[in-house]
């Protein structure tokens, strides 16, 4: 399949956000591929009196029920039972809501909110008569909410904890052991000047978890059940310009509704958008490119214009194209008579000479353009709308893999969940940027969004930093994975959710393909499941025919009808084989031989890639003995795992029951060079799904731990993904007083092709990588204290070196800030690493000292962490045990303040440390 396109991105109007952009090189730990700084309180005006988007993130009041919630329910849910079929709803009031005399089921008032994304007018919903909830106190303008908690958005009500540690917790390990469940309300006054009379005023919600229902001045405006989709509601009919305007938002998060930590609350940005009645529709532009080359490219722009006035309008649509602030082209005006209440799509094209192409670093540059669309109504400017885009050509080749602008690009990707570790689901630009910077240092060039639409700002980042993105919307369809997940609302919402998802993200150049399902149960239902897949596929292609559409498959086989629906073949674990290696033979479950050849034979014209690989497990800095002699084994008690410690050995050989080590995955892909690449499960550890120890809080599968510290596996992937980067890495650490005289295997990850290992200067042998081997092993080393070092070679020449040495007792602390200067906007962050050192400055690898963090000056601690999946200390605590020598404190400046911020770390018996931040 060949695709020329590339819608772009900035996200219209930058969503009220001010950005600063800096570029630097790919390599090095200080890599800053893009620097984005957010001012969430800014007002961005497209042009005078035409379009205004205002952040309303500040000054919210928040209340969450601790007992029985109100009965303003979206719909009746099924009862949830325990393993003995006992109903558990009595002790979990938000899981199941029975209909009684006081219940108000509001579904029929909410469904019309999706009408703009339902193609067949006959299937759109009619709003019933009545004002449900109008008499409820929380929606009243005069309700006294001064005792409610004051919060700023984005807000995740659950992340501060406490964690649930009991075995039968209401929220278990799967959803992160945090209080995400319940019903909550947010209230805020809106300032709507009298001068806004005659304008159309929208509420734009980037993400709220979940079953959102919105009232304004006592009127139910609408809502949106799916917690990951962005949505818009028209507030205009209910506004009192110049008067009192009270916004009230109800959220409802069921337990048993997710397989991972979903977060709770209005966890993304919220905006007021003010426009004239004749306007560009929501996400109403679509920019594509074709005939792309270094010499020229055709830019096609489609603009959907809405006339929300009460009379006919004569309109013109003109679009200017800019890059680097310079206008480079204009698409001439197109004119149309637009009836009252009607919409119209205006299309135009222009050929750009010598375009600046968008492509992934390090071999290409992510250049961006902006299309500025002007709407003229009856000779008067009425709207101005910005759309970012990129110009590029993509080819999805069944043999050559992915080509970007004609050049082959190996997909070196990871899967990422939406949480930001200790910050939870509440989106923060800097936290997301830091994750991408660490992944860029790894050599990662692609992100698969697992398994839901992301924050729009994340795609702004991937556009500017040049990451390739698989944008995904659903983890399940009609067949449930948890009792109260999306399957309950799929029949009503699959179409509006899918269309809204595509329209929002289709102009991002980083998005290279759509995924409309992940490991869905419909893989098991043959033609019936394939029919649902085709229904979703058709919707995706109606919205965007320029990108391939797919759904990931962990079960569907080449001869089944399900994969035949897909443009490209997205395989989870099947390419490398599932439970097919000798160490996995005793396990129960799906057993699959490597299926790359079978899929290629069945679908010779379709590109194949692995949308999930590995699911290797490890705990940073933990090494358990004995060490498996092969290359891949499932975690078990005494074989890479310790249930007592809730830790998995970091020799990076151990996996989930269905998984494979990186070594096994690399070999399989190298044996099948037509495979376009992989997305590793996962880039970072994430909250919830803590396989194999469900009494823990977070996953073990990341290449990087939850705090952002690199596991040993980071260097194994780096050695493969950055073959020209001179690096070598030794594991394990070399401080084992209890192992003197015991065999302690030493492994080396290097981008070189051979290496020599030394202990106290004495060679332990020189080894060379053989075919399909990706690490060098010295499995018979006898431990004694000292200095362990390695010299790596490539093509016979010295390439890189690494050293580890035996540490003494912990004696001192060290603090290292990722950034010394931060903006005083309450959003920008500094991530500060604490290290425990001995008297000579050597890291103490198993240090677990209790650390107290303090801040003086105009700053505050946001959260602390240490990367230990089993640590149930609240993230909001300023006291944190170091874990295997490290801990993390996250600091921000108080809004509107200036001056130095002093961060101090102390621990009994150790020399304290401090670092100074500046908030200019």
Using H for helix, E for strand and C for coil, what is the string for 102-165? Answer: CCEECHHHHHHHHHHHCCCHHHCCCCCCCCCCCCCHHHCCCCCCCCCEEECCCCCCCCCCCCCC
* Backbone φ and ψ of 525, nearest 5°: -110, 25
What residues have CB less than 8 Å from 114, skipping those under 6 apart?
A: 125, 224, 493, 495, 496, 497, 500
User: Cβ(476)–Cβ(487) under 8 Å?
Assistant: yes
Q: Which of 230, 60, 76 is nearest to 145 (CA)?
A: 60
- How far apart (Å, rounded) are the C-alpha atoms in residues 493 and 475? 14
User: 353 and 345 in contact (C-beta within 8 Å)?
Assistant: no
Q: How far apart are the first and last CA of the chain?
A: 51
CB contact at 8 A, 280 and 382: no
3-class secondary-structure state, position 760: coil
- Are 468 and 360 a contacting pair, CB within 8 Å? yes
Phi, psi dihedral angles at 347 (to 5 degrees): -120, 140
Strands annotated E in 746-796? 746-750, 754-759, 762-768, 776-778, 787-794
Residue 341 is encoded by which pair of tokens?
């209440």
Rounded to whole angstroms, how far apart are CA atoms 688 and 176? 4
Q: Which residues are the active-site residues?
A: 519, 612
Sign of CA dihedral 626, 630, 632, 634: negative
HEC per residue, 658-692: CCCCHHHHHHHHHHCCCCCEEEEECCECCECCCCC
Q: How far apart are CA 571 and CA 555, in angstroms?
A: 9
Q: How many residues does the chain have?
A: 920
Distances (CA, A) of 917 to 22, 33, 745, 821, 882: 20, 22, 42, 6, 22
- Closest CA relative to residue 919, chosen from 835, 834, 860: 860
Tokens representing 573 are 């674990």
Residues paired with 394 in a beta bridge: 3, 404
- What are 395's two structure tokens? 């080819």
What is the separation of C-alpha 873 from the centre of its chain, rounded to a whole number of angstroms? 24
Residue listed under structure tokens 């003494």: 808
Q: Which three-class secondary structure state does DSSP give residue 739?
A: helix
Maximum pairwise Cα distance, the chain? 90
Tell me 358's DSSP state: B
| Cβ contact 115:124 at 8 Å | yes
What does the block give as tokens for 612? 């999930």
């Amino acid at each position: 399949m060949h695709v020329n396109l590339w819608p772009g991105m900035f996200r219209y109007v930058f969503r009220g956000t001010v950005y600063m952009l800096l570029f630097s090189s790919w390599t090095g730990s200080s890599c800053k591929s893009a620097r984005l700084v957010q001012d969430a309180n800014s007002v961005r005006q497209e042009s005078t009196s035409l379009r205004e988007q205002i952040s309303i993130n500040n000054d919210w009041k928040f209340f969450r029920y601790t007992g029985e919630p109100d009965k303003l329910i979206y719909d009746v849910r099924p009862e949830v039972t325990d393993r003995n079929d006992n109903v558990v709803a009595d002790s979990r009031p938000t899981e199941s809501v029975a209909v009684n005399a006081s219940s108000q089921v509001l579904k029929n008032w909410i469904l019309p909110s999706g009408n703009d994304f339902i193609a067949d007018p006959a299937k759109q919903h009619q709003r019933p008569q009545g004002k449900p909830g109008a008499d409820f106190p929380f929606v009243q303008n005069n309700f006294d909410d001064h005792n409610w908690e004051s919060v700023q958005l984005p807000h995740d009500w659950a992340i501060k904890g406490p964690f649930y540690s009991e075995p039968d917790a209401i929220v278990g390990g799967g959803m992160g052991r945090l209080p995400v469940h319940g019903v909550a309300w947010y209230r805020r006054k809106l300032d709507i000047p009298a001068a806004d009379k005659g304008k159309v005023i929208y509420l734009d919600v980037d993400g709220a978890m979940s079953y959102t229902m919105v009232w304004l001045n006592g009127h139910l405006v609408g809502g949106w059940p799916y917690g990951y989709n962005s949505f818009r509601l028209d507030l205009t009919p209910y506004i009192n310009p110049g008067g009192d305007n009270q916004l009230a938002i109800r959220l409802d998060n069921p337990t048993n509704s997710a397989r991972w930590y979903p977060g709770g609350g209005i966890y993304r940005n919220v905006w007021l958008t003010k426009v004239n009645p004749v306007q560009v529709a929501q996400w109403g532009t679509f920019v594509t490119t074709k005939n792309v080359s270094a010499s020229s490219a055709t830019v096609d722009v489609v603009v959907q214009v809405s006339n929300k006035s009460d009379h006919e309008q004569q309109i013109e649509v003109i679009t200017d194209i800019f890059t680097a602030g310079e206008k480079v082209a204009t698409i001439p005006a197109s004119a149309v008579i637009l009836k009252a209440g009607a919409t119209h799509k205006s299309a135009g094209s222009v050929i750009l000479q010598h375009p600046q192409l968008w492509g992934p670093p390090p071999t290409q540059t992510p250049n961006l353009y902006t299309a500025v669309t002007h709407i003229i109504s009856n000779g008067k400017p009425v709207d101005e709308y910005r759309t970012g885009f990129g110009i590029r050509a993509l080819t999805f080749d069944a043999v050559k893999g992915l080509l970007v602008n004609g050049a082959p690009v190996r997909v070196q990707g990871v899967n990422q969940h939406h949480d930001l570790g200790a910050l939870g689901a509440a989106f923060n630009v800097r936290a997301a940027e830091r994750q991408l910077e660490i992944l860029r240092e790894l050599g990662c060039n692609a992100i698969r969004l697992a398994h839901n639409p992301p924050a729009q700002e994340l795609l702004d980042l991937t556009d500017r930093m040049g990451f390739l993105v698989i944008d995904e919307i659903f983890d399940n369809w009609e067949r449930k994975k948890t009792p109260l997940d999306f399957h309950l609302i799929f029949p009503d919402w699959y179409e509006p959710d899918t269309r809204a998802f595509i329209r929002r993200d289709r102009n991002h150049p980083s998005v290279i393909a759509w995924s409309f399902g992940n490991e869905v149960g419909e893989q098991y239902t043959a033609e019936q499941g394939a029919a649902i897949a085709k229904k979703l596929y058709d919707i995706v292609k109606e919205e965007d025919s320029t990108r391939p559409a797919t759904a990931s498959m962990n079960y569907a086989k080449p001869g089944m009808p399900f994969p035949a629906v897909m443009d490209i073949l997205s395989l989870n674990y099947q390419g490398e084989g599932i439970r097919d290696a000798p160490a996995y033979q005793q396990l129960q479950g799906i057993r699959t031989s490597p299926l790359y050849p079978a899929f290629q034979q069945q679908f010779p014209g379709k590109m194949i890639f692995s949308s999930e690989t590995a699911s290797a497990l490890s705990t940073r800095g933990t090494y358990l003995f004995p060490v498996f002699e092969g290359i891949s084994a499932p975690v078990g008690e005494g074989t890479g795992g310790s249930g007592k410690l809730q830790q998995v050995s970091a020799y990076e050989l151990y996996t989930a029951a269905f998984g494979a080590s990186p070594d096994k995955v690399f070999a399989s892909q190298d044996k099948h060079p037509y495979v376009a690449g992989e997305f590793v499960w996962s880039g970072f550890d994430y909250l919830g799904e803590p396989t194999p120890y469900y009494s823990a809080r977070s996953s073990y599968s990341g290449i990087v731990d939850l705090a952002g510290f690199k596991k040993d596996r980071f260097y194994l992937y780096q050695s493969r993904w950055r073959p020209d980067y001179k690096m070598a890495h030794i594991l394990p650490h070399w401080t084992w007083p209890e192992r003197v005289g015991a065999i302690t295997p030493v492994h080396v990850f290097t981008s070189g092709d051979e290496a020599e290992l030394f202990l106290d200067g004495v060679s332990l042998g020189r080894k060379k990588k053989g075919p399909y081997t990706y690490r060098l092993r010295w499995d018979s080393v006898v431990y004694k204290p000292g200095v362990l070092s390695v010299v790596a070679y490539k093509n016979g020449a010295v390439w890189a070196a690494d050293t580890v040495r035996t540490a003494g007792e912990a004696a001192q602390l060290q603090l290292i800030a990722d950034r010394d200067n931060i903006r005083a906007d309450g959003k920008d962050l500094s991530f500060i690493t604490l290290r425990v050192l001995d008297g000579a400055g050597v890291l103490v690898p198993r240090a677990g000292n209790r650390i107290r963090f303090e801040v003086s000056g105009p700053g505050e601690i946001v959260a602390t962490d240490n990367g230990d999946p089993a640590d149930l200390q609240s993230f909001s605590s300023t006291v944190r045990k170091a874990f295997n020598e490290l801990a993390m404190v996250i600091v921000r400046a108080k809004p509107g303040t200036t001056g130095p911020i002093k961060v101090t770390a102390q621990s009994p018996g150790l020399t304290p440390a401090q670092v100074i931040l500046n908030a200019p």
